[in-house]
């Protein structure tokens, strides 16, 4: 929640205020980063990587404190927040390896001691706009590769999770990243717009909604001089076909749809099943839903699912469920508010097979839509029936079906007998269509954090023109 001159962060599970700070100044933060960038870029890559490794050690030493803060500010279970902090630590070694593999320096010998060289340069000052669902891991996934490449950063965390953003920046600085190399901009949408439109940035790295991504894409359209990396959402299909283990399949369905209360861009939104063979699976999924513990982060026993980020989000997800019902959807497990004044939701499961003209939208919460189809060809058509293209998974015992699925599905992440979510940072991460702009992050983040420079180099000036000149003797 924000007021005119400050940002206030609350614990969504309890409503208590946990953090407050004044709104920042985008101009001041960009100016500071521009002043710090050259010195950082002039350091060797080994120096920058060593600094990032100190950062990893500092975070490792604060894992309990960091995880507790993430839980308090997002409402996600403590065990899940801890895995997020572990991902922050792991990102450093992955990014260092990717930097050397994706942005190498190379020289090839030519004639007369000439060389063709390839090296990479940082862009300069990069803005990072972070999301609320993984407020440490996802912005860190942009920031660490950008710092290794030699960029300076202005980071604006989500106004819903600013305390985590401040904690993350504090860890960079404790590791020895100069204060003017990583800047923290506190604010809401207005500050985000000022930062994105600032002449002093050389690019923007964004993780968030498709609506925000589309607005940025339009804004940056006339500016080919500025790099724009967009990691957006998805309307991700999970296809189940001839899977022999119903219980294990149901567990993967639940993990795909309801982890992080459905607030993952890779969460399964559509469960595509074979007509007439779907009932045992649906029954098994409902049994897990009935056993699911939903509660605050520190509850004992530990919850599988916490709340969504705030009451406004809970209302939007509830409205999405009701809208599908009003259009003819058949509810299997009702999505409900657990408490009127807190954003806890029960998992929703709704059959939308008979709903015509379903909106191709990402409902960002614990809601899974079931679509029954007559054959596998129809399953592929339904899976690709989206403007998004982030993640897709097939649960099946047939390698032939998976080969067909992999060849025909349009997505940046295609899995077999695994959840749609939980992608590895050691691989590229990103989607096609409205899920991003073909700049996959994670391992390939190095690709947009530095630009290649090709050089033809010779130790001495040697040149002659053999064609197209008049003979000087003929002129005499």
> Looking at the structure, do residues 59 and 47 belong to the same domain, yes or no?
yes
The single-letter DSSP state of residue 305 is: B
463, part of any domain = no
214 in the same domain as 319: no
171 and 198 in a common domain = yes
Q: Is 315 a catalytic residue?
A: no
Give yes or no for a contact between 92 and 172, defined as CB atoms under 8 angstroms apart: no
Identify whether the C-beta of residue 326 lies closer than 8 Å to the C-beta of residue 359. Answer: no
The pLDDT score that the predictor gives to residue 422 is: 83
Looking at the fold, whether 228 and 261 belong to one and the same domain comes out as no
pLDDT at 2: 44
The structure's pTM equals: 0.95
Q: Which of 265, 274, 307, 362 is catalytic?
A: 265
Q: How many domains does the chain have?
A: 2
| 188 in any annotated domain | yes
399, 287: one domain: yes
Tell me: do 251 and 226 sit in the same domain. no
**What is the biggest distance separating any 2 CA atoms in the chain, rounded to whole angstroms?**
101
The CATH number of whichever domain residue 217 belongs to comes to: 3.40.605.10
What pLDDT is recorded for position 423?
86
In a domain, 50, yes or no: yes
Residue 203 sits at the vertex; the CA angle it makes with 421 and 66, to the nearest 5 degrees, is: 50
Establish if 68 belongs to a structural domain. yes
Statement to judge: residues 412 and 452 lie in one domain: no
- The string of pLDDT tens digits covering residues 227-246 is 999 999 999 999 999 999 99
Query: In 310-367, which residue ranges form alpha helices assigned H by DSSP?
Result: 311-326
| Residues of the chain scoring pLDDT < 50 | 1-3
Question: DSSP assignment of 255-309, as one string?
Answer: HHHHGGGG--TTSEEEEEEETTT-HHHHHHHHHHHHH--B--TT-SSPPSB---S
SS3 127: strand
Residue 471 counted as domain residue: no
Distance (Å, whole) CA 90 – CA 76: 20
The pLDDT value recorded for residue 475 is 62
The verdict on 151 and 243 lying in the same domain is no
DSSP 385-427: -SS--SEEEEE-S-HHHHHHHHHH---SEEEESS-SS---TTS
Are 395 and 443 in a shared domain?
no
Cα(250)–Cα(258) distance, integer angstroms: 12
Is the same domain home to 395 and 328?
A: yes
Query: For residues 439 and 447, what is the distance between their CA atoms, to the nearest angstrom?
Result: 8
- The two tokens of residue 423 are 């992608």
449 and 339 belong to one structural domain: no
Whether residues 211 and 332 share a domain: the answer is no
Q: Is residue 426 part of a domain?
A: no
ω into 157 cis (within 30 of 0): no
Place of tokens 């030493």: 61
39 located within any domain: yes
Structural domain containing residue 323: 236-416
265 is catalytic: yes
pLDDT of 147-177, one tens digit each?
Answer: 999 999 999 999 999 999 999 999 999 999 9
- 65: tokens are 């404190």
Domain presence at residue 20: yes
User: What's the CATH number where 287 sits?
Assistant: 3.40.309.10
């Amino acid at each position: 929640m924000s007021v005119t001159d400050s940002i206030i962060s609350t614990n969504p599970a309890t409503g208590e205020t946990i953090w407050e700070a004044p709104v920042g100044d985008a101009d001041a933060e960009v100016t500071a980063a521009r002043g710090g960038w050259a010195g950082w870029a002039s350091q060797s890559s080994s120096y920058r990587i060593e600094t990032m490794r100190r950062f990893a050690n500092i975070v490792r030493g604060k894992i309990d404190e960091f995880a507790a803060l993430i839980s308090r500010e997002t409402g996600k279970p403590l065990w899940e927040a801890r895995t997020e902090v572990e991902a922050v630590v792991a990102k450093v070694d992955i990014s260092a390896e990717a930097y050397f593999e994706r942005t190498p320096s190379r020289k090839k010998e030519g004639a007369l001691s000439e060389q063709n060289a390839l090296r990479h340069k940082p862009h300069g000052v990069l803005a990072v706009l972070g999301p609320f669902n993984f407020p440490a891991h996802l912005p860190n996934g942009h920031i660490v590769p950008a710092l290794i490449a030699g960029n300076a950063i202005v980071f604006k965390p989500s106004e819903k999770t600013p305390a985590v953003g401040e904690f993350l920046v504090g860890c960079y600085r404790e590791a020895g990243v100069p204060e003017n190399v990583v800047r923290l901009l506190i604010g809401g949408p207005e500050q985000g717009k000022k930062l994105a439109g600032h002449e002093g940035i050389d690019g923007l790295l964004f993780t968030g909604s498709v609506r925000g991504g589309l607005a940025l894409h339009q804004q940056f359209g006339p500016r080919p001089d500025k790099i724009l990396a967009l990691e957006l959402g998805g309307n991700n299909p999970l296809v189940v076909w001839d899977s022999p283990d119903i219980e294990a399949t149901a567990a993967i369905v639940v993990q795909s749809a309801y982890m992080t209360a459905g607030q993952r861009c890779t969460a399964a939104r559509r469960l595509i099943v074979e007509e007439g063979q779907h009932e045992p699976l649906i029954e098994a999924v409902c049994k897990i839903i009935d056993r699911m513990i939903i509660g605050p982060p520190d509850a004992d026993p530990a919850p599988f699912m916490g709340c969504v980020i705030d009451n406004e989000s809970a209302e939007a997800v509830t409205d999405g469920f009701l809208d599908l019902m009003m259009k003819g959807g058949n509810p299997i497990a009702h999505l409900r508010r657990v408490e009127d004044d807190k954003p806890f939701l029960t998992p929703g499961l709704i059959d939308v097979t008979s709903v015509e003209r379903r909106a191709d939208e990402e409902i960002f919460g614990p809601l899974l839509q079931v679509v029954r189809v007559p054959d596998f060809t129809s399953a592929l058509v339904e899976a690709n029936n989206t403007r998004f293209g982030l993640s897709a998974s097939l649960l099946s015992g047939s390698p032939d079906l998976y080969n067909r699925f992999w060849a025909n599905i349009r997505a940046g992440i295609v899995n077999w007998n695994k959840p749609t979510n939980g992608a590895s940072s050691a691989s590229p991460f990103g989607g096609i269509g409205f899920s991003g702009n073909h700049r996959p992050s994670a391992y390939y983040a190095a690709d947009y954090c530095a630009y290649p420079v090709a050089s033809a180099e010779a130790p001495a000036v040697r040149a002659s023109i053999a064609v197209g000149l008049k003979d000087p003797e003929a002129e005499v």
